[in-house]
Amino acid sequence: AADCFERGLLTGCRVLITAGPTQESIDPVRYITNHSSGKMGFALAEAAAEAGAVVTLVSGPVHLPTPQRVTRVNVVSARDMLAACEAAMPCDLLIAAAAVADYRPEVIATQKMKKDPGSDDGLQLRMVRNPDILATLAARADRPFSVGFAAETEKLLDYAARKLRDKNLDLIVANDVANPGIGFNSEDNAITIIDRQLTQNSFAQTSKGKIARQLIAFIAARLHQS
Ligand code: CTP
Ligand code: CA
């Protein structure tokens, strides 16, 4: 419950949080993005700051106010987000709540792209992989206690456990984005946290603010045990 949240749980702890979508440019007027609102990451930043942490929030383009006592760094693309996170290292705790674009257009056209006047064909856009921000930071020698999110529409716990292992995380927060009441762009969330022993802890559906406080209390307890 929210009242299990205590002030001072993360006093002096340096916390890095990623939030929101990334935008990957196609040309000067077009981009590829996703439906992430940034609400969960911002709620986590607020809860971590209330718990006494020194918080850096690296955010993609969102329409949200910066929480009190949080240092916010605005970025646009996945590559910008990685650079901003690397600049904010070292830290004690990383929470990757951003919905990072997995691919970006191979080239960004310098001028607005024009339709081919000679044909009615569709457009083929070549995409290349973006860096994995969370996996990159969790692989460093000075790796923080690393918490990821797994947004899935099917096989939620299987896929989440696989990401925990593949990215060398301490915890992963599994998030069912197929359920319209929770996850992407909604006010509420319901989550299951999986640890390295594959033990599951679930938090029932409630506001993202309450889930954030529960998550920060849970993560702080595990961080102090590690
Ligand atoms: N993540 C990241 N950088 C990326 C992709 C993902 O930091 N380029 C982080 C997300 O912030 C999240 C976790 O990795 O904490 C899992 O993201 P998700 O999109 O669910 O998984 P992917 O590893 O990208 O795999 P897929 O999209 O294929 O399911
Ligand atoms: Ca992805």
Structure tokens at 2: 């929210």
Which residue ranges in the chain fall short of pLDDT 70? 1-7, 183-185
Residue type, 188: D
pLDDT for res 186: 77
Q: Which CATH number fits domain 8-102+128-225: 3.40.50.740, 3.90.600.10, 3.40.50.150, 3.40.50.10300?
A: 3.40.50.10300
Atom 12, ligand 1: residue with shortest CA distance: 149
Cβ of residue 148 lying under 6 Å from some atom of ligand 1: yes
Task: Supply φ then ψ for residue 5, to 5 degrees.
Answer: -75, 130
Q: Complex ipTM, two decimals?
A: 0.99
pLDDT for position 117: 87
- Ligand nearest the Cα atom of residue 82: 1
Q: Decide whether any atom of ligand 1 lies within 6 Å of the 173 Cβ.
A: no
34 tagged catalytic: yes
**Residue identifier of the C-alpha nearest atom 21 of ligand 1:** 150
pLDDT at 6 (0 to 100) = 56
Distance 167 CA to ligand 1 centre (A): 9
Residue type, 52: G
pLDDT of residue 7: 63
SS3 of the chain: CHHHCCCCCCCCCEEEEEECECCEEEECCEEECCCCCCHHHHHHHHHHHHCCCEEEEEECCCCCCCCCCEEEEECCCHHHHHHHHHHHCCCCEEEECCECCCEEECCCCCCCCCCCCCCCCCCCCCEEECCCHHHHHHCCCCCCEEEEEEEECCCHHHHHHHHHHHCCCCEEEEEECCCCCECCCCCEEEEEEEECCCCEEEEEEEEHHHHHHHHHHHHHHHHHHC
CA of 102 to the centre of ligand 2 (A): 5
**Residue 5 pLDDT:** 53
Radius of gyration over every alpha carbon of the chain, rounded to an integer in angstroms = 18
| Per-residue model confidence (pLDDT) at position 1 | 34
Question: Which pLDDT score, from 0 to 100, does residue 183 have?
Answer: 66
To test ligand 1's pocket by mutation, which of 57, 82, 134 has the most ligand atoms within 8 angstroms of CB? 134
Could you tell me the distance, in angstroms and rounded to a whole number, from the CA of residue 1 to the centre of ligand 2?
30
**Spatial separation of the C-alpha atoms in residues 7 and 10, rounded to whole Å:** 8
Whether the Cβ atoms of residue 40 and residue 17 lie closer than 8 Å to each other: no
Q: What is residue 181's predicted lDDT score, i.e. its pLDDT?
A: 76
Supply the pLDDT for residue 156. Answer: 93
Nearest ligand for residue 177 CA: 1
Q: Please state, as a whole number, how many other Cβ atoms lie within 10 Å of the Cβ of residue 206.
A: 18
Q: Where do the structural domains in the chain lie, given as residue ranges? A: 8-102+128-225
Buried b (16+ CB within 10 A) or exposed e, 58-73: bbbebebeebeebebb
